[in-house]
Chain A
């Protein structure tokens, strides 16, 4: 079970859009529509931002959106805001009640 591949960092100016990719295999990302995304601020626990590839929990701003194509899932933050600066992790179901996370992406707001 290998970690999903995410870029180490992405950055953008306030108001711009950034997209984070999450690449796995046909045994995880490509095999199930069960990709979730978590936001983590320093010293804090992860917070669910997207689940089931595209769904947003109540309270998550609609500038956060998710998608998937083949073995790669993506998280897009539109209208970047200062409070969006954090680490973001993707997570995919990998079958047999197991899960795999990505290595994390640091989003910097310039």
Chain B
């Protein structure tokens, strides 16, 4: 059974780049047939889909984030990563990684989430 675990710094300074990693266990990150997603939740607010990657096929992003985000996969480490540039306080949130099996249009596996605060 697939399990996901987010990791990364809990504090990032304004204008810098936020970098998070999601480690996949219990299955292959490259051949499992999954889209790997990043989703965030600002304090007291709703969920926001950031983007997803399908290894070897492509990446897909939320147009509302204005191209600040980048998602990649490192198969040797069984990880996928999120980079979000030029962060502001509005990027403070709990960041979740999630997975959706190819052919399914829902997220059926989630990490526990990691809190990132943007502050000087």
Mark A residues whose CB is within 8 Å of B. Answer: 1, 3, 32, 34, 36, 38, 44-48, 51-52, 57, 89, 91, 93, 96-104
Pairwise interchain contact B47-A104, C-beta atoms closer than 8 A: yes
Q: Looking at the complex, which one of A44, A98, A102 makes contact with B60 (CB distance below 8 Å)?
A: A98
Q: How many residue pairs bridge A and B at CB < 8 Å?
A: 67
Min C-beta distance of A63 to chain B, whole Å: 20
Interface string of B46-80 (1 = CB under 8 A from A): 11110010100010111110000000000000000
Contacts of B62 in A (CB 8 A): 1, 98
The tally of residues in B whose CB lies under 8 Å from a CB in A reads 26
Query: Nearest 10 pairs between A and B by C-beta?
Result: A34-B105, A36-B106, A51-B106, A104-B46, A97-B60, A101-B47, A103-B46, A45-B110, A99-B49, A93-B105
Q: What CA separation (Å) do A47 and B108 show in the bound complex? A: 8
Which of B37, B46, B60, B63 gathers the greatest number of chain A CB atoms within 10 Å? B46
